[in-house]
Amino acid sequence: MVLGVVLAVLGLVVPDSAVHPTDLTLVKVRSATASTLDQDVVWILAVGSDARPGQDMTRSRGDALQLIGMNTRTGAATAIGIPRDSYVSIPGQGRDKINAALFLGGPQLMARAVEDLVGIRADYVFVTRFKKFIAMADEIGPIRVDNPRAFADPNLKDDGFDRGRITLTGYDAMAFSRIRYNLPGGDFDRSANQQRTLRGIHERIRQRASQRGFMESGVLSVLANMSTDGVSPADLFRLAHAVAAVRPERITTCVVQGTIGTAGAASIVLPDRAQAARLGAEARRDATLESC
């Protein structure tokens, strides 16, 4: 799902027959500022698209949103979770749920909408489908996460997830990251679970990063299997090594909070814009958050 960015961009070896360019897309966001190759901090907006078979996943609604920053100098990293129903002004489109930006204008507009809320322009936008996230998670797995509460969902995981340190298969990682209806915090808790999955994925990457040829063969697999708009092989290698260098003790995560409201008949999240701006200002330069 959303955190497939850490699986695909970072060189996890995906069988050539398992992924097609229409299922994984990495877009370099056009910017008039300094080249991303000269920056200490790289920002990736990871989007899980809810596109159905036959639909263009880069022009469907985003089902999950995580803005991930990595500091290539210090090894720090952070993830800022954005509830998909956050009701915001989308540049040139009026007010709507933030996940509609992908449908209305593709990855570039999605990046602009997030920038308007958080104050950070992503260097790259990564988009994938749920099915491909499952395949990639199975390829790297198993993934272990710390789950603060037991929960279940009759549609996605009837037997649920136990509290504590648990092991996830590819399907379980998708369900753990996607379930919200039986969580007390709904979309906010779901976004936090996506970040827990991110930590588990990173832990597994570090376990495999020292394997001979792991990063190199993974980047070649990405080039063969993923649509890369404006992304060079040098970009991919830089992203791969940036994630492998992240130090687990230097990972910080927060979710933009808000209140539940309505817009017409639709349920929406009214995001705490002050908190979102503060998180962006705090993390922009060094990918570090002191607190939520």
Q: What is the CATH number of the domain that holds 218?
A: 3.30.420.590
Residue 100 lies in a domain: yes
Which of 46, 217, 256, 87 lies closest to 139, judged by CA?
217
Residue 37 lies in a domain: yes
For residue 174, what pLDDT is reported?
92
Write out the residue range of the structural domain in which residue 33 sits. Answer: 2-131+212-283
39 vs 237: CA distance, rounded Å: 15
Residue 185 lies in a domain: no
For residue 209, what pLDDT is reported?
72
Residue 75 lies in a domain: yes
Residue 149 lies in a domain: no
Q: What is the pLDDT along the chain (292 residues), one digit of tens a residue?
A: 334 444 444 443 333 444 455 677 888 996 544 444 457 899 999 998 888 777 888 888 887 899 999 998 999 999 999 999 999 999 999 999 999 999 999 999 999 999 999 999 999 999 988 777 887 788 777 899 999 999 999 999 999 999 999 999 999 999 999 999 889 999 999 999 999 998 998 888 778 777 777 666 666 665 666 787 788 877 777 787 777 778 999 999 999 999 999 998 999 999 999 999 999 999 999 999 998 8
For residue 210, what pLDDT is reported?
75
Residue 248 lies in a domain: yes
For residue 15, what pLDDT is reported?
39
Query: How many domains does one find in the chain?
Result: 1
The percent of the chain in helix, strand and coil, each rounded to the nearest 5, is: 40, 30, 35
Residue 62 lies in a domain: yes
- Give, as one character, the DSSP assignment of residue 75: -
Residue 162 lies in a domain: no
